């Protein structure tokens, strides 16, 4: 008779794995995930500048302000992180078009142009003077959901028109570069006419424009639920669950990307305006739910230093260093943790326990969090926490790492004792 764990494994592989595979192969979800990942050079690329101009060192800050570095640095941050919706509108469309078999550059440019066209660009000053300008909030936090929806819709419709052969036909004598540039003209005309109708249509609604409509009808309800620290814990717990059964956690994270990105943008906008972070607890807890890779296996690596079996003594030297830099595939596949009944419980709870501890500590211990600081993903979690929230936040994260080690410890000892007994039996057998 199969064990309960074996039965659960077979059920997950039969019912959950096919769903996760389909989600991973979905053109829309993979485009959103791929587009968001491709925006990483913008967010991480300016991380050093964001850190420099926001370091809480009075003498250095005064000098950087006097020499113009703070003003110039904030402008660079504003031109990248704070305008992320523009870049995302291109990147997601580009990725979707690649998945859809159409021209990615044309799709990306059309999507970005449509996004900018829908932004209200006329502002009336107090004296009644009308000026042409873009409100920064529509280019950032209030525009991210519009960018996601619009990039997918524009690219899908562009692909539909292309497959219907709605394009400008040119003779073979025209160079391919020129033909490729001119052939989408009819498709572009149709798309921009629809954008015009949409823009005019929303002026006759209480919302005034599509951005405020999406913010109030779509993003606001999502943010109420999605920005809760419990949501962060749930997202990472689900990622741990699917990773235990060998399904890559990107399948889960791609679904959560829009909300995570919107939270980040709103926090950055508030920080730069000198206001309290609207989603402080969500951001603070998220970092404490994910350190050392999916499953927070750095705690398991620390437990290996108490090993008595030669197996885990050898593994700790190989696995700990990569895990410090958030690379935990050696642990997942080498221990193994994946599909190992011994580690099922700590793997699932590895986001819950540190997350709850972080929620409590971050609620009662005051500290400031800088959401503009984005470190490379291989940066050890305590260092990222130090730069983002100072020594207090780093200590909170270290407590969470310690809780992960405590969580894994009794289960590790079971695995270590089994390995030790097998080694002793093997040694006794070959000694005889």
pLDDT for 314 beyond 70: yes
pLDDT surpassing 80 at residue 242: no
Structure tokens at 185: 């003209």
Asked which of 154, 180, 211 is the last residue of a domain, the reply is 211
Tell me, what's the pLDDT at 23? 61
CA atoms within 13 A on the CB side of 230: 2
Residue 13 included in any domain = no
Q: Which residues contact 300 (CB under 8 A, 6 or more apart)?
A: 331, 335, 337, 343, 346, 404, 405, 408, 412
> Per the structure, how many domains does the chain have?
2
Average pLDDT, the chain: 81
Q: Are residues 45 and 164 in the same domain?
A: yes
pLDDT for 406 equals 92
For the entire predicted model, the pTM comes to 0.67
Q: Is the peptide bond before 336 cis (omega within 30 degrees of 0)?
A: yes
The contacts of residue 422 (CB under 8 Å, 6+ apart) are none
* Same domain (yes/no): 246, 188: no
160: its two tokens: 């539909």
Residue 27 counted as domain residue: no
| Alpha carbon distance 280, 370 (integer Å) | 10
Q: Is residue 16 part of a domain?
A: no
Give the pLDDT mean for 97-119.
91
* Co-location of 50 and 128 in the same domain: yes
- Rounded to whole angstroms, the Cα distance separating 352 from 358 reads 10
Over 60: is that where the pLDDT of 9 sits? no
**Do both 196 and 233 map to the same domain?**
no
Same domain, 299 and 166: no
Task: Tell me which of 70 and 24 has the higher pLDDT.
Answer: 70
Task: List the domain range (segments joined by +) for residue 348.
Answer: 227-432
Using the predicted structure, report yes or no on whether residue 339 has a pLDDT greater than 80. Answer: no
Domain check: are 53 and 194 in the same one?
A: yes
| Residues 278 and 164 placed together within one structural domain of the fold | no
Task: Identify the domain boundary among 151, 184, 211.
Answer: 211
Residue 332 forms part of a structural domain: yes
Domain boundary among 176, 211, 246: 211
Residue of higher predicted confidence among 145 and 249:
145
The answer to whether position 195 is within a domain reads yes
Nearest-5° Cα angle at 78, 199 to 293: 100
Phi first, then psi, for residue 123 (nearest 5°) are -125, 135
Same domain as 279, residue 176: no
Does some domain include residue 33? Answer: no
Q: How many Å apart are CA 432 and CA 428, to the nearest integer?
A: 6
Inside any domain, residue 96:
yes
305, 416 contact by CB (below 8 A): no
More confident residue, 150 or 178: 150
Kindly state whether residues 407 and 268 are assigned to the same domain: yes
* Residue 58 belongs to a domain: yes
Whether pLDDT at 19 is above 70? no
Helix (H) or strand (E) holding 123: strand 122-124
Q: Percent of the chain, pLDDT > 70?
A: 81
Q: Are residues 403 and 262 in the same domain?
A: yes
Do 390 and 330 fall into the same domain?
yes
Helix/strand/coil for 308: coil
- Eight-class DSSP state of 132: E
Please report which residue ranges of 273-380 form alpha helices under DSSP H.
280-289, 298-303, 310-324, 329-334, 344-349, 352-364
| Whether 136 and 277 share a structural domain | no
């Amino acid at each position: 008779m199969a064990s309960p764990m074996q039965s659960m494994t077979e059920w997950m592989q039969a019912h959950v794995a096919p769903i996760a595979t389909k989600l991973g192969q979905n053109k829309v979800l993979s485009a959103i995930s791929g587009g968001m990942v491709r925006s990483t050079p913008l967010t991480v690329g300016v991380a050093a500048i964001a850190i420099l101009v926001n370091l809480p060192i009075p003498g250095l800050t005064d000098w950087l302000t006097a020499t113009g570095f703070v003003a110039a640095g904030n402008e660079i941050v504003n031109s990248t992180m704070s305008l992320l919706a523009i870049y995302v509108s291109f990147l997601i469309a580009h990725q979707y078009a690649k998945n859809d078999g159409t021209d990615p550059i044309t799709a990306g440019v059309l999507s970005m142009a449509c996004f900018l066209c829908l932004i209200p660009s006329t502002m009336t000053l107090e004296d009644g003077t009308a000026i042409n300008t873009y409100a920064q909030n529509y280019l950032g936090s209030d525009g991210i959901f519009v960018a996601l929806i619009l990039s997918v819709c524009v690219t899908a419709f562009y692909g539909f028109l292309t497959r219907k052969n709605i394009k400008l036909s040119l003779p073979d004598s025209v160079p391919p570069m020129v033909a490729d540039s001119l052939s989408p003209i009819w498709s572009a005309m149709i798309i921009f006419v629809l954008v015009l109708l949409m823009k005019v249509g929303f002026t006759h609604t209480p919302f005034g424009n599509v951005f405020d409509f999406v913010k109030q009808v779509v993003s606001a309800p999502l943010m109420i639920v999605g920005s809760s620290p419990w949501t962060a814990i749930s997202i990472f717990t689900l990622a741990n669950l699917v990773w235990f059964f060998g399904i890559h956690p990107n399948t889960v994270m791609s679904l959560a990307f829009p909300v995570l990105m919107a939270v980040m943008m709103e926090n950055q906008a508030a920080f730069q305006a000198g206001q309290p972070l609207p989603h402080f607890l969500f951001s603070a807890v998220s970092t404490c739910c994910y350190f050392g890779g999916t499953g927070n296996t750095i705690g398991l690596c620390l437990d290996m230093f108490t090993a008595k079996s030669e197996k885990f003594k050898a593994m700790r030297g190989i696995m700990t260093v990569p895990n410090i830099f958030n690379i935990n595939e050696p642990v997942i596949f080498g221990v193994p943790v994946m599909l190992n009944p011994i580690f099922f419980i700590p793997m699932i709870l590895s986001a819950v326990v540190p997350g709850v501890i972080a929620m409590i500590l971050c609620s009662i211990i005051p500290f400031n969090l800088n959401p503009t600081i984005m470190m490379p993903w291989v940066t050890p979690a305590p260092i990222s926490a130090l730069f983002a929230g100072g020594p207090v936040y780093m200590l909170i994260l270290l407590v969470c790492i310690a809780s992960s080690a405590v969580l894994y410890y009794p289960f590790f000892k079971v695995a270590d004792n089994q390995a030790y007994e097998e080694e002793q039996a093997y040694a006794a057998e070959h000694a005889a």
